[in-house]
Structure 1
Amino acid sequence: MKILIVEDNISLLESIKEILEKEYEVDGADNGEDGLFYAQQNIYDLIVLDVMLPYMNGFDIVKEIRKEKIKTPVLFLTAKDSLEDRVKGLEFGGDDYLVKPFQAPELLARIKALLRRSGVLDMDEGIKYRGIILTGKENDVLVKDVPIKLTIKQYDLLEYLIQNSGKILTKEQIFDRIWGFDSDTTIAIVEVFIHQLRKKLEEFSYHKDIQTVRGVGYILKES
């Protein structure tokens, strides 16, 4: 799972990244313009968003992505503890509100609650699609109760497809999500890993569920 943090206090940004990177992949931005750009890629499972930011505030970022039909859950961070700001954040499309200063366990609990609410996590924190279960432990996968081993990138790719089953994902979205904006490789790597993943699932007859949408990308749905 991948989380975006937008926070202009660099020390706080790094602290939050350090907390979350034990369980999630994390990208960070320290201003509103960069935060909006990252959020618009629609590759994140959750956004942790400061309200007061340079160039564009958190409320305006949420308004923009909601206009674009991006439904990524948003957890607002703010030093303001007023009812007005809390209500404003929720009205603009935020999903929860955490007031600074906060403790790491509360941040993690709020994030997991939002991920469960959005359907990214099941209550037991497994990720499931038909007969496939991703346990989240050492990249292990159960397919029809048979354990198979995937590489880290193969696992991340399958996880992303399952989380968005029934939705078309562009090659660009997949590349940015799995390899990141700063990757030295090229977008052609997406086709290579889709092929590898299909081969891993072929003996279970799930390979046909990873369907190619010509000129666009891929979709995971029952064939």
Structure 2
Amino acid sequence: MTPPKTAPDPKADLHRYLQEARDALLWKLEGLSEYDVRRPMTPTGTNLLGLVKHVASVELGYLGDTFGRPSGEPMPWLDEGAEDNADMWATADESREYIVGLYRRAWAHADATLDALALDAVGRVPWWPSGKDEVTLHHAVVRVIADTHRHAGHADIVRELMDGAVGEKQGSNSIPPVDAEWWEDYRSRLERVARQASPSD
């Protein structure tokens, strides 16, 4: 077996995939009005700025509080007695600049935890049941990566529904370079196939 050309660096790998998801999520806000970044685009209210607020809270919890490294950031939407889903939308007083700034500070805080601790360091998740609340840093980072990529995917769909903008990341959208007519024909074809596959529906 040929040895790898570079030494493995698990922390660098984890950080890379986390940062890619972070960047993708924030990119989906670019070029939109204050209204559009808050606009609920699904029956359950999914909106772009709310997704950012949520993932910022997740990072500060799993990669901060869990390892005895509280950020000091006030997050009243997570307080006991806060209304349901308060972390999934921004109030009129919570500006885009504030939420994006919170997320960037969450990155820095989480990255400092990743730098400071070994991947096998054990923390306790405050909101998990006692006795079942221990977690390694490795597990916590993977959990945050999975959550952030999931919500970046939500943001992809929300943004496409909003104004047709698509793509994985700036400068590399992973979309065939075709025109709107091609996409309309493609979508119509998929609709026909779906109907042919389920004639009894």
The TM-score, its normalising length taken from structure 2, stands at 0.35
State which structure, 1 or 2, has the greater radius of gyration over its C-alpha atoms: 2
Q: Which has the higher strand share?
A: 1
The TM-score, its normalising length taken from structure 1, stands at 0.32
- Name which structure has the greater RCO, CA cutoff 8 Å, separation 6+: 2
Q: Which has the higher helix share?
A: 2
